[in-house]
Amino acid sequence: MTREAPVVLWFRRDLRLGDHAALLEASRHSKHVLALYVLDDVLLTPSGAPRTAFLLGCLEKLNDQLGGRLMLVHGDPATEVVRAAREIGAAAVHVSADAGPYGRRRDAAVAKALAEHNIGWVETGSPYAVTPGRVTKPDGEPYRVFTPFFRAWTAHGWPSPARPSHVDWVEPLRSVKIPRPPRVSATLPEPGEQAALDVWHEFLSGGIETYATDRDRPDLPGTTRLSPYLRWGCVHPRTLLADLDDSPGAQALRSELCWREFHADVLWHRPETARRNYDRRFDGMAYDDDPEAFERWCAGKTGFPFVDAGMRQLLAEGWMHNRVRMVVASFLVKDLHLPWWLGARHFMKHLVDGDLASNQLNWQWIAGSGTDAAPYFRIFNPATQGEKFDPQGDYVRKYVPELRSVPGKAVHRLKERPADYPAPMVDHAHERRIALERYGRITS
């Protein structure tokens, strides 16, 4: 391969130009690079409107960075990537490796199709600091518990951010227009790489100092709000990790970033867990069939203020605080006795940061059917959780306007209810006993 032959850089979950290992590798092979993105219906069709809208916004920003030279095509990647590469006489197609179940199958098909035309396939880096599958136990087996994985992941380490790459972007011979984003009612974050870096630098300038103590408080701006940008690779986790020191906030954030990598690693080794129980004993768990209860949960009308605030935040912003995600998930599975995959599907429909590995395996973690760090008998009490993590009730009042006249933490245990706010749809103590009984049947 000579540097005179052009190459293709196929963007997927890496919608940025900075700290881009695959771009750096492409620049080493050629000074002429075609930037390509494929609108793939296999991914777009099931994607919720908030995530699709944010993706299209990120593509607009990337195209602007490229001076309008992003080639956008629509169709089967196994056909479209080969076609684009052949049109410019490309020597190779460069990508960041995809660790997801569909992405791995798709990439194998594309690489095979390219090989038939003597076009190379080059994978460099991934959307993770450590590519899934790299960290294993000494005997080669995968980890199923987070803490030892975190220790091994930290010991493994990761490269420094990739240095800037200088290439001549090839003018596309053809390209479809970036589609008009679907209409969404949620208020979405500003898309793109610069927005991601702005959010990160603002967090570093102050938020990181209180992150260790405030990240569990949905009533405070204590999180990074970077999850949508990490989802689409507007910023690489390696960029974030390179800026972290050993302060308490930095240590806490390093651990949170590792949770994302842990779940990706679990899915790498067990791709079926995107749809099925990690712990197959839970295939025998008894669930209720109650569409009306599910709809009330989706709408944030359960009569449990902390749960309702979270579900309404999801609809309003396409995002929900992580602590609240755990509480609403526990309520669905262990108070309403509905299967985790119903909730996971609803989240993926509405979350702007919807990520298959993190979403599905976090749901299984709560349900007890996933990796064994959270046993099924850990059942969140919505009122207790609200009092602990929203101590003045500000979070609930922000998203549940019916309760704005209720002062302080009294909002979590209502003695009197406004006429327009529903009564609790279940008795938590009673449903907790039922959940434990059902758990006992599959573990005894």
Q: Are residues 247 and 369 in the same domain?
A: no
For 185-207, the DSSP string reads SS-PPPPSHHHHHHHHHHIIIII
Q: Are residues 280 and 329 in the same domain?
A: yes
Residue 401: is its pLDDT beyond 70?
A: yes
For 351-416, the DSSP string reads -TT--HHHHHHHHHHHHTSSSTTS-TT----HHHHHHHHSTTSHHHHHH-GGGTTS-GGGGGS-SS
Q: Return the higher-pLDDT residue of 3 and 164.
A: 164
> Which CATH number fits the domain that encloses residue 47?
3.40.50.620
List CB contacts of 437: < 8 A, sequence separation 6 or more. none
Has residue 2 been placed in a domain? no
> Given 269, 295, 312, which residue is the final one in a domain?
269
Q: Are residues 91 and 59 in the same domain?
A: yes
Two structure tokens written together for 144:
């199923």
Q: Are residues 262 and 153 in the same domain?
A: yes
Phi-psi sector, 225: left (phi>0), alpha (psi -120 to 50), beta: left
Strands 168-169 and 7-11: unpaired
CA neighbor of 200 nearest in space, from 399, 19, 7, 71: 19
* Torsional sign, CA 227, 231, 236, 241: positive
Domain total in the chain: 3
Do residues 15 and 59 lie in contact, with contact meaning Cβ atoms separated by under 8 Å? yes
Q: What's the mean pLDDT in 295-307?
A: 98
Q: Are residues 27 and 79 in the same domain?
A: yes
Q: Are residues 102 and 203 in the same domain?
A: no
> Given 247, 269, 291, which residue is the final one in a domain?
269
Q: What's the mean pLDDT in 89-93?
A: 98
Has residue 167 been placed in a domain? no
> Which CATH number fits the domain that encloses residue 281?
1.10.579.10
What pLDDT does residue 47 have? 95
Has residue 48 been placed in a domain? yes
- Max CA separation in the chain (angstroms): 76
Q: Are residues 387 and 400 in the same domain?
A: yes
Q: Are residues 282 and 366 in the same domain?
A: yes
- pLDDT tens per residue across span 165-188: 899 999 999 999 999 999 999 999
- Pairwise CA distance, residues 239 & 262, whole Å: 18
Q: How confident is the model at residue 4 (pLDDT cuts 50, 70, 90)?
A: confident
- Pairwise CA distance, residues 169 & 345, whole Å: 39
Residue 203: is its pLDDT beyond 80?
A: yes
Q: Are residues 314 and 430 in the same domain?
A: yes
What pLDDT does residue 374 have? 59
Give the CA distances from residue 185 to residues 182, 245, 444, in Å, rounded to whole numbers and listed in that order: 10, 39, 47
Has residue 1 been placed in a domain? no
Do residues 32 and 119 lie in contact, with contact meaning Cβ atoms separated by under 8 Å? no
pTM over 0.75, yes/no: yes
Distance between start and end Cα atoms, the chain: 62
Q: What's the mean pLDDT in 31-39?
A: 98
Q: What's the mean pLDDT in 388-400?
A: 98
Q: Are residues 218 and 255 in the same domain?
A: yes
List CB contacts of 151: < 8 A, sequence separation 6 or more. none
Do residues 385 and 327 lie in contact, with contact meaning Cβ atoms separated by under 8 Å? yes
- pLDDT tens per residue across span 269-296: 999 999 999 999 999 999 999 999 999 9
For 120-152, the DSSP string reads EEEE---SSSS-TTS---TTSPPP-SHHHHHHH
Do residues 213 and 385 lie in contact, with contact meaning Cβ atoms separated by under 8 Å? no
Has residue 171 been placed in a domain? no
Residue 35 has φ and ψ, to the nearest 5°, of: -85, 120
Has residue 299 been placed in a domain? yes
**Which pairs from 326-329 meet CB under 8 Å and 24+ separation?**
326/362, 326/366, 326/380, 327/380, 327/382, 327/385, 327/386, 328/297, 329/362, 329/363, 329/366, 329/367
- Pairwise CA distance, residues 364 & 144, whole Å: 13
Q: Which residues of 33-59 are buried (b: 16+ CB within 10 A; e: fewer)?
A: bbbbbbbbeebeeebbbbbbbbbbbbb
Helix runs in 215-290, H state only: 227-231, 237-242, 248-269
Q: What's the mean pLDDT in 387-401?
A: 98
The strand pairing partners of 72, in sequence order, are: 37
Domain that holds residue 294: 274-443
What pLDDT does residue 223 have? 97
Strands 120-123 and 70-74: unpaired
The H or E element spanning position 169 is strand 168-169
> Which CATH number fits the domain that encloses residue 147?
1.25.40.80
The strand pairing partners of 94, in sequence order, are: 9, 122
Residue 300: is its pLDDT beyond 90?
A: yes
Q: Are residues 261 and 352 in the same domain?
A: no
- pLDDT tens per residue across span 126-160: 999 999 999 999 999 999 999 999 999 999 999 99
Q: How confident is the model at residue 373 (pLDDT cuts 50, 70, 90)?
A: low
Q: Are residues 363 and 385 in the same domain?
A: yes
What pLDDT does residue 269 have? 97
Question: Considering the chain, what is the average pLDDT of its residues?
Answer: 96
Has residue 183 been placed in a domain? no
Has residue 169 been placed in a domain? no
> Given 240, 269, 298, which residue is the final one in a domain?
269
Residue 375: is its pLDDT beyond 70?
A: no
